[in-house]
Amino acid sequence: MSDNPSQVVERIWSDWYKGQGPCSSCPGRDESGCHTPYFGDGAFPAEIAFIAETPGGSRSTQTKNPDNPCWESVPEKHAEKNQGVGWLNSGNRIPDKFFSKSLGDEYGFTDESDIGIYFTNAKKCANIVGEDEGWKDEKARIDCRAHLKPEIEAVDPTVIVPFGAKATEALYRGFDVDRNVRKMADEVLNTYQNDSRYIVPSYHWSGLPRNITNLESISDTDVYWETLADEIIAVV
């Protein structure tokens, strides 16, 4: 039986905060505490889990200056962090009308607070940008898989929607799905059953206008979001 969702979320935060477990040797963990992870928003438990690739706001360099630490302002517990539902804010996020119209009209969601949706990232800490830094993000993605599976199992969603190739690949590997992401166009808007759960891969919203040209049946982004909602509603 899975742990309580809040316990799992707190354990992930504690591993990052203390530099233990999967975070102990992860190059994506900022040892100064200036860059914190982002995960664990939304409903506990949830009917739908949305998984993005990594938090936004890439870091130009990893901050590890012992003379200028940030730990004094970092809460020891995830519950003490002012998360908010950042995924639903305006900007480069899932559009509000996906919830209010695509899911709302068909499934009866009338308010964001009533939506049984959980939000997280496959890789909890933002990317590191710099010369010869790419290997750090790759290792961080692998390290974070050890967090992703117990996190999703605890939240226990019926439907999991990974956004982007990296999030989809992390989910496939974490849950032993016998598929590889060779071409994302072959994965998106298809539904795969994994034990008692369903996985519906999606393009990441940031590249959606460009990527829908790879889908013959999708004419624009509105149709894409409506189709994604239909796939979710069919199995939730």
**What are the boundaries of each domain within the chain?**
5-235
- The CATH class that applies to domain 5-235 reads alpha beta
Q: Could you tell me the two tokens for 28?
A: 């994506």
**In this structure, what DSSP letter does residue 102 have?**
I
**In this structure, what DSSP letter does residue 132 have?**
T
b/e map of 128-153 (b: 16 or more CB within 10 Å)? beeeebeebbeebbebbbbbbebbbb
pLDDT, tens digit only, all 236 positions of the chain = 467 889 999 999 999 999 999 999 999 998 888 889 999 888 888 899 999 999 887 777 665 566 777 888 899 999 887 655 445 444 457 777 787 777 776 666 655 445 688 999 999 999 988 777 788 899 999 999 999 999 999 999 999 999 999 999 999 999 999 999 999 999 999 999 999 899 999 999 989 999 999 999 899 999 999 999 999 989 98
Would the pTM of this model clear 0.85, i.e. be above it?
yes
Strand ranges inside the chain, DSSP E: 41-42, 48-52, 117-121, 159-162, 192-194, 197-199
Q: Residue 56: CB partners within 8 Å, gap ≥ 6? A: 92, 126
